[in-house]
């Protein structure tokens, strides 16, 4: 007996293969989203961003108009011991995609992510398409573009760079890098991609010729050159929600970084130890698919901010194909990994059925 997901996948693959045998085009598993709704989704995302910015501005104006006496009373009250109210976790706030209603989009694979995309890296054949053209924040997936610019700059990876206080970017994510540590550029690249270390990404940008501003400018140049027409980059870490892209654009970025061995090696190790002066710093991956022997991953990157939700891009060999898969705005880490598994199972099932169909004599079917 096949599990329910595999059974569902093979049912879809069977129907698709029959269409293929009768002279139809290669199947694309796509969410039923007309072009008009895609435009509406883009507008909804812009509206959600605008409302958030307006609310923040209103709060600042209200605070500025508070009379001094009222502030004095507030200060005196704060001196008295009060019971602290448990703060709401940042991750509980809805993402931009969720506010725009993208999480409600129905798709044949019943994926939990707002956006999903799977494409053959070599042929460009699209296999799974769900809201693939809606620009959204991409969080630390941004670091793949940072890594591409560093790799193409041909700066020596064995050059030692000093981590400084300037690299202490504002973030709830932790970092094992401390001010004064001397770390090679290659080790910083590994920390940025494997552990998604924001200080490492900032140090790479700060020490780039011309500094962070020059690196960000180059990131946008490379995006245009790759045909990433719906993408923009504003910082090297992904903490700024101005970094946005679409799933289709990100597949182009993944294909480009795959050409660099140093990026493939840096992003796909489950554990690593780097040297920082006399200290040794242990790193671990943020991707639960790394280390799974059933996956042959060539490139990966995860990301999370409140506005972006959980994101992941993966390049992996699936059967005889090299596949690029993207999910954006997953509700949690388990769901984004499960959506990747579901897309891979669908592609594997389609390929297996097609191979069996080609070996079958037609009269045996009818």
Catalytic residue flag (residue 143): yes
User: Of 140, 245, 251, 316, which one is the catalytic site residue?
Assistant: 140
Distance CA 314, CA 37 (A): 27
Q: Show Cβ contacts of residue 365 under 8 Å, excluding neighbours closer than 6 positions.
A: none
Q: Output the CA torsion sign for 31, 36, 39, 45.
A: negative
Q: Output the CA torsion sign for 283, 284, 287, 292.
A: positive
The two three-digit tokens of residue 302, written as one number = 């995860």
Catalytic residue flag (residue 93): no
The two three-digit tokens of residue 307, written as one number = 């506005």
Asked if residue 317 lies in contact with residue 298, where contact means CB atoms within 8 angstroms, the answer is yes
- Find the helix or strand (DSSP H, E) in which 51 lies: helix 35-64
Q: If you search the block for the tokens 């494997």, which residue do you land on?
A: 194
Q: Show Cβ contacts of residue 169 under 8 Å, excluding neighbours closer than 6 positions.
A: 198, 199, 202, 237, 239
Distance CA 137, CA 244 (A): 4
Compute the C-alpha angle 233/238/241, nearest 5°. 75
Asked if residue 300 lies in contact with residue 290, where contact means CB atoms within 8 angstroms, the answer is yes
User: Of 42, 130, 143, 301, which one is the catalytic site residue?
Assistant: 143
The beta strand positions in the chain, using DSSP E, are 29-30, 115-120, 126-130, 136-137, 160-162, 182-184, 244-245, 271-276, 279-284, 297-305, 309-318, 321-330
For the purposes of burial, counting CB atoms within 10 Å of the CB of 224, is it exposed (0-12), middle (13-18) or buried (19 or more)?
Answer: exposed
How many C-beta atoms surround the C-beta of residue 72 within 10 A? 10
Catalytic residue flag (residue 195): no
Q: If you search the block for the tokens 């591409």, which residue do you land on?
A: 148
Q: Output the CA torsion sign for 140, 145, 148, 149.
A: negative
User: Of 113, 175, 195, 196, which one is the catalytic site residue?
Assistant: 196
Active site residues: 140, 143, 196
């Amino acid at each position: 007996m096949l599990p329910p997901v595999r059974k569902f996948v093979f049912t879809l693959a069977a129907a698709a293969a029959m269409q293929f045998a009768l002279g139809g085009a290669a199947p694309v598993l796509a969410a039923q989203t007309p072009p008009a709704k895609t435009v509406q989704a883009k507008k909804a995302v812009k509206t959600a961003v605008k409302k958030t910015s307006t609310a923040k501005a209103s709060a600042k104006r209200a605070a500025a108009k508070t009379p001094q006496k009222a502030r004095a009373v507030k200060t005196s009250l704060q001196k008295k011991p009060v019971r602290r109210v448990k703060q709401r976790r940042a991750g509980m706030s809805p993402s931009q995609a969720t506010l725009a209603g993208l999480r409600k989009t129905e798709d044949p694979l019943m994926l939990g992510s707002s956006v999903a995309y799977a494409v053959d890296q070599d042929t460009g054949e699209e296999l799974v398409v769900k809201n693939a053209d809606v620009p959204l924040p991409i969080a630390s997936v941004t670091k793949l573009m940072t890594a591409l610019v560093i790799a193409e700059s041909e700066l020596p990876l064995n050059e030692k760079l000093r981590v400084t206080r300037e690299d202490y970017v504002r973030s709830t994510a932790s970092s094992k890098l401390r001010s004064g540590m001397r770390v090679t550029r290659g080790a910083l690249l590994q920390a940025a991609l494997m552990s998604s270390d924001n200080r490492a990404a900032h140090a790479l940008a700060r020490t780039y010729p011309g500094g962070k501003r020059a690196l960000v400018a180059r990131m946008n140049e490379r995006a245009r050159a790759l045909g990433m027409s719906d993408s923009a980059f504003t910082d090297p870490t992904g903490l700024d929600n101005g970094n946005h892209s679409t799933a289709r654009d990100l597949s182009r970025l993944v294909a480009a970084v795959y050409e660099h061995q140093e990026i493939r090696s840096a992003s796909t190790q489950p554990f690593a130890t780097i040297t920082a002066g006399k200290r040794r710093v242990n790193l671990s991956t943020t991707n639960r698919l790394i280390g799974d022997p059933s996956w042959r991953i060539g490139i990966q990157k995860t990301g999370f901010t409140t506005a972006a939700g959980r994101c992941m891009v993966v390049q992996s060999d699936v059967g005889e194909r090299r596949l690029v898969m993207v999910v954006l705005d997953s509700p949690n880490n388990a769901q984004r990994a499960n959506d990747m598994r579901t897309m891979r199972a669908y592609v594997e099932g389609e390929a297996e059925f097609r191979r069996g169909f080609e070996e079958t004599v037609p009269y045996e079917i009818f």
